[in-house]
Amino acid sequence: MALSDKPTPPRHIAIIMDGNGRWAKKRGLPRTAGHAAGAEAFRRIANYCRTLGVEYLTVYAFSTENWKRSADEVAGIMKLLRRYLEEALRDMEKNRVRFCFFGDLSRLSPELQALCDRAARQSEDYDVQVNFCLNYGGREEIVQAARRFAQDVQAGVHKPEELSEELLSTYLYSAEVPDPELIIRPSGEMRISNFLLWQSAYSEYVFMNVLWPDFSPSDLDQAIEEYHRRNRRFGGV
């Protein structure tokens, strides 16, 4: 199908990149090989989203719960992330993608924190935006937002009765980013895993049986087509 014949994509797509470990196990490979294949899938889909005209892509890269995995696996994921950011910084002027990071980055290594900060600063004038959820948890994000609002109340910036959904949203990691219209979870799992709990109030979920490393542009096309078949009523009739 020609690009002009494809349905208009949502403005903001979010993806739970799941299935790397199972992909590797099926092939008798270490889990780190699955994460490497998953990183290539991310590159493939991010480039395709840009081609389609998607304005925002948010990906669940590393959750607050992922620290429970083995030290070797966590180290492998961080090594892949560092390599990706180094390559992205090198090619930033060519790709012109804005990098943002959702999550508590303080637990990452100083080197990785510096790379995240550099990527965000150097890309801030670009239009297409990729949001990486790193050391991220949806509940933790809401708690942190509430704490920051409480601190502003103590400082006299706000009064408690001023709190609204709109105001609390400004304290989230995703402040100024529109909520995702479509959230995709590959791998066959049918749960949201603490991802974008506040922002997904009216998102459409599409669950797919393909493992993330095998996720292709045609899979994304199928998810977008399914999204367009939905009747989004936002609580109305």
The pLDDT tens digits of the residues spanning 44-79 come to: 999 999 999 999 999 999 999 999 999 999 999 999
For the stretch 76-107, pLDDT in tens is: 999 999 999 999 999 888 889 999 999 999 99
Percentage of the chain lying above the pLDDT 90 cut: 91
Quote the CA–CA distance of 30 and 33 in Å, as a whole number: 6
The band of 3, judged by pLDDT with boundaries at 50, 70 and 90, is low
Is the model's pLDDT at 5 over the cut of 90?
no
CATH 3.40.1180.10 fits 10-137+179-227, yes or no: yes
Examine the residue annotation and report whether 18 is marked as an active-site residue of this protein: yes
3-state DSSP of 23-84:
HHHHCCCCHHHHHHHHHHHHHHHHHHHHHHCCCEEEEEEEEHHHHHCCHHHHHHHHHHHHHH
Question: Which residue in the list 66, 104, 152, 221 is annotated as catalytic?
Answer: 66
Give residue 237's pLDDT band: very low, low, confident or very high (50, 70, 90): low
Q: What pLDDT is stored for residue 93 in this prediction?
A: 85
| Identity at 187, one-letter amino acid code | S
Q: What is the mean pLDDT of the segment spanning 98-120?
A: 97
Q: Determine which one of 18, 131, 135, 219 is catalytic.
A: 18
Q: What per-residue confidence (pLDDT) applies to 157?
A: 97
pLDDT of residue 118: 96
- Sequence-distant (6+) residues with CB within 8 A of 64 are 103, 104, 135, 136, 137, 140, 194
Is residue 1 predicted with pLDDT exceeding 80?
A: no
Q: What are the structural domain ranges in the chain?
A: 10-137+179-227
pTM, to two decimals = 0.94
Q: Is 66 a catalytic residue?
A: yes
When pLDDT is cut at 50, 70 and 90, the band that residue 151 belongs to is very high
